[in-house]
Structures are given as C-alpha cells and as structure tokens.
Amino acid sequence: MNQCDLTMDIARWLSPELAFTVSCEFSYADQDPFAVTLVLDADGVRPVRWVLSRDLLADGLTARSGTGDVMVWPVHDLPDGETSSFCLRLVNTHAVVFEIAAEPVAQWLARTYTMVPRGTEMDGADWDELLQFAD
C-alpha cells in the first residue's frame, strides 16, 4: 500500500469576524483510490475524521464543488482573481467552515494523482472478488 499525507494548520471560522487555528491531516492511500481522509484537530483529545471524495476536493480548488454534507469552493482573494485559499464546509449536526491554504493542498493532491491518476482508480480492482459479494 502506498500512502501520501499532508499535515497543516487551517482556520475554523466561528463567525465572519472570528476564526481559530486547528491542526488537520489529509491522508490518501492507493487501497481506497477515490477517498481522502481528513482528520481535524489531529493533535487534540477528540480528533474528528471525515472521508471525502478526492475529486470533489480537487475540483473545489477551482470551482464550487459538492452538495449536502461536504462543499468546497475557492476564495478568489488575490488582485489578479487568483485564489490563495479555499473553504471546506462540513455538515453533521452543525455546519462548520474551514479555510485552507490552496497551494500545499494542490501540491499534495498532485502527488496523489501521480500515485493513482484520475480515471484509473478501478484499474486494479479484482472484479471476480467484488462480484461474489453482490448476491
């Protein structure tokens, strides 16, 4: 199994004027090629784990992506209309919005797509084994 991880601090927005920093860890493993695991408050007493689509995260760096429990969108905050960060909205009982630096995540995602290119996620699937559980 190959794995790729990224640990960084992100901003959790409590209101439009108030945010605090929380540690997070993005993980990707080629054994689950469609998914990214995000652990929030990774250094804390009660870390929270979310599993989301790798493509949803990648698409959200450049355009609004996702509906329902997970939404991702870029923050166009640079003078030339470029983005330095993106927002991630997660909904369980309550909605929580995080702002995350785009560049380190984009570089990390590029490494995951080197491991398993987009569109090839099912190339190594053992269909005979998977079909035996379909009954």
pLDDT tens for the chain, 135 residues long, are 899 999 999 999 888 888 889 999 999 999 899 999 999 987 788 899 999 999 999 999 999 999 889 999 999 766 776 678 999 999 988 899 999 999 999 999 999 999 888 987 877 666 666 567 665
Q: Is the pTM for the entire model greater than 0.75? A: yes
What distance separates the 2 farthest-apart alpha carbons in the chain? Answer: 56
| Helical residues (DSSP H) of the chain, grouped into ranges | 54-59, 102-115, 127-131
Alpha-carbon gap, residue 34 to 98, rounded angstroms: 22
60 close to 86: Cβ distance less than 8 angstroms: yes
Domains of the chain, first to last: 3-131 (2.30.31.20)
Integer CA distances (angstroms), 36 to 8, 11, 80, 82, 108, in order = 15, 19, 30, 25, 11
